[in-house]
Chain A
Amino acid sequence: DTAVSQTPKYLVTQMGNDKSIKCEQNLGHDTMYWYKQDSKKFLKIMFSYNNKELIINETVPNRFSPKSPDKAHLNLHINSLELGDSAVYFCASSPSTGLNEQYFGPGTRLTVT
């Protein structure tokens, strides 16, 4: 059983388009995250939701909008895609209590042409 899943795995699109990436976790966690990994493998947090409430919102362009319809899902919508948005986007989840590790999804490789 997949713990944290993301769709799609690959996404190729043109500049200016709008796209969404979906994430689902079946671990019963109530905190979810979006990370961006650039071409140099540097990993940076973008957003975090706890019980559907936004708790971390790093310096990310307004073109990126997370949406959490319920505790098990955290989607990422990107408007007006730019070349610099090309990266691998990872979803993760963790229990909100304690100092628990995060569980990562397999990633979505976004290529903007």
Chain B
Amino acid sequence: AQSVAQPEDQVNVAEGNPLTVKCTYSVSGNPYLFWYVQYPNRGLQFLLKYITGDNLVKGSYGFEAEFNKSQTSFHLKKPSALVSDSALYFCAVRGNPGGSARQLTFGSGTQLTVLP
């Protein structure tokens, strides 16, 4: 079974500082990894995904994520945090797309707070 771990429930960072939100995964075969963001009382919004290729993936709003196969990690990063980045972030993984299940497994979420 596939799984995702987000070891930090809460991450606080000062505005202008770099931020990292951690994610590790477990899946059979090649991993397909996603980051989503959820603002209060809203649905999830897609940020970026890793399918294959370059280990550094760039996404929306200046976010990027680094895929590390040996460490089974896919950490979300941003060089300079904004107060408006404060939200709940979810990492998600799915396995072989050829199967009948197109199931995304989500992590437990990390609340990011950017302090002015």
Q: CB within 8 Å of B: which residues of A? A: 4, 31, 40-45, 48, 50, 55-56, 90, 92, 94, 96, 98-99, 101-107
- Residues of B contacting A92 in the complex (Cβ-Cβ under 8 angstroms): 43-44
Report the interface size for chain B: residues with CB under 8 A from the other chain. Answer: 24
**Complexed CA–CA distance, A21 and B42 (Å):** 17
**Contacts A43-B106, A55-B100, A55-B101 hold; do A104 and B43 have CB atoms under 8 A apart?**
yes
Cross-chain contact of B42 among A42, A99, A107 (Cβ < 8 A): A107
For window 6-44 of B, CB contacts with A under 8 Å fall at 32, 34, 36, 38, 41-44
**Is the pair B102, A48 in contact by a Cβ cutoff of 8 Å?**
yes
Residues of B whose CB lies within 8 Å of any CB of A are 32, 34, 36, 38, 41-46, 49, 51, 88, 90, 94, 97, 100-104, 106, 108-109
Interfacial chain A residues near B106, Cβ < 8 Å = 42-44
B103 touches A48 (CB 8 A): yes
